[in-house]
Amino acid sequence: MSVELFSSDDLDEDIEDLDSEHNDAAEESTSSMPTAATAVGMLFVLAGVLLGFRSLVDNSFFTHLQTGRLILSDGFFSNDPYTFTSASSDEWVVQSWFASIVYAVLERVGGGVAIQIVRAITTGALAWLAWDLSSSVGSESPEHDSGTTTILARLAAVVPAVLVGIIAWSERPLIFSLVFLALTLRTANRDVSPKPLAVVGLLWIWMHGSFPLGVALLGALAVGARLDGRRPVRELKALGWLTLGIVVGGAANPFGLKLLWFPIALLQRGEVLGHIREWKPLHPSYHIAQLFLVGAALMLVALVRLRSFRAAAAGLLFLVAAVMSIRNITVATIVFIPIIAEGFRGVGATPDSRRSEWTEKTTVLAAVGIVFISLASIFTQPTWNVERYPVDALDWLETENILDTDDPVRFAHPDYVGNFIELRYDAKVPTYIDDRYEFHSLELVNDYLSLFFAEDDWEAALDRYDIDIVLWEENTSLADALEDNPSWDLIHEEGDWIISCRNNACDPTS
């Protein structure tokens, strides 16, 4: 007699149960891995952090930092504390006053390194927001369809913006406004509460004069949504909360309603701004313009594929803004991101939701890279980079007792050098000019251009302000004009800089 301990059917069922448990465990293990989108997004964050840890070099930032120092030490002011060419009645509205205070507080707490760390956090966050804007997760925009979001489509949208960022994401307060713009655009495209935009609007008007761009963006999206036949409820709610924050910030600040009026007053200075490179129309000879044109071409193709008034209203508005002024390129590339990503949805083979070992390894490596680069940048890279400024020439002027902070002389210099002098001497040496063209008079700007191009009246431009010393770059038109003019003596050459003085006006041996 035989005894059957296990039937074949029972054995088959046990094997199926084991296979099922194994598959469930495998799926659970895979589901815990980061997606391809997360992995690539972390790489963009890594790039953003790397950009943020670059040395502090921007001349405009120098004046923002020095302004913050003055506010912390002496309180708020309305008259120009820097240039000897401004009239005592000229009022200077410090549009980025809150950003200046942030810079100065960070410097007090941790020196320039603290500023670098905050900038790295900001640029890293901006890079992540750029990547997030290319995702359709949670999107309720009419451009969204049932196609699959691919890595290729998202890369096409984000890479042009980050490449432009390599050039333009500096330590200026503009970097904060780009974050605010990205948050505004994200709110308009997602099913999220618009209430935080009130805080965004408040901080935006306190930190940078570009806050009307957020209003223009939401307005364009709302009009476009209406043309698409949809009620723009989400866009109008976002617009309402952002505007509320801007109005509150425009009323609650040291300069009152003048902050609200600042962008309009700035646009009224077109005759002055037209001479400044960053305010000039787009020209393909600039590297940043070439990168922008790639993104613009992708955006236009995406609009053809989308056939959406909502996308077209925002995309074309900011395309025109960038064409009219190079300054708007960085803003436009952010606005283009969701348009390009939606327009090229389904292009490419790799879904951004794929999970695999490479996505896990890439994410971990990117996270480690962020930490490593942050520490390496802090300890190996110089915090300040002043190689482009005439440090040695200024040292010589001090050594020869020509430049004395207790009794400073008037001397002419390039505009960006003025920003450096303001920071280096803690606003104790009056400057000829700096890059605050929203403040300087048209007469001063014309005089500066006469010097810059060594026009026939360049000497008269110096006479108007009783200037006897010129600190200028060698191998320039003005340097040659000074050398050829018998009324001026070349008293010193230092690196790429020359110092000229009127005959008998200064004695370098005294």
Residue 8 has pLDDT above 60, yes or no: no
pLDDT at 144: 53
pTM for the structure as a whole = 0.88
Mean pLDDT of 123-146: 76
What is the Cα Rg of the chain in Å? 28
Of 327-341, 375-389, 441-455, the least confident: 375-389
* Nearest to 160, CA basis, from 49, 291, 29: 291
pLDDT at 186: 97
Residue 110 has pLDDT above 70, yes or no: yes
Those residues with Cβ within 8 angstroms of residue 219's Cβ, 6 or more apart along the chain or in another chain: 239
Half-sphere exposure of residue 230: CA atoms within 13 angstroms, side-chain side? 17
DSSP 482: H
Quick one: CA torsion of 64, 65, 69, 71, rounded to 10 degrees? 30
* Nearest to 174, CA basis, from 240, 219, 123, 243: 123
Q: How confident is the model at residue 274 (pLDDT cuts 50, 70, 90)?
A: confident
Residue 435 has pLDDT above 90, yes or no: yes
Question: Which DSSP helix (H) or strand (E) runs through 412?
Answer: strand 411-412
pLDDT tens column, 312-321? 999 999 999 9
pLDDT at 9: 55
Q: How confident is the model at residue 270 (pLDDT cuts 50, 70, 90)?
A: confident
pLDDT at 346: 79
Residue 106's φ and ψ, nearest 5 degrees, are -60, -40
pLDDT tens column, 350-403? 555 555 565 566 667 767 777 776 667 666 778 999 999 999 999 999 998 888
What does the alpha-carbon distance between residue 279 and residue 269 come to, in Å, rounded to a whole number? 11
DSSP 502: E
Our measurement of the distance from residue 245's CA atom to the centroid of its chain's CA atoms, rounded to an integer in Å, reads 21
Residue 1 has pLDDT above 70, yes or no: no
What does the alpha-carbon distance between residue 204 and residue 246 come to, in Å, rounded to a whole number? 7
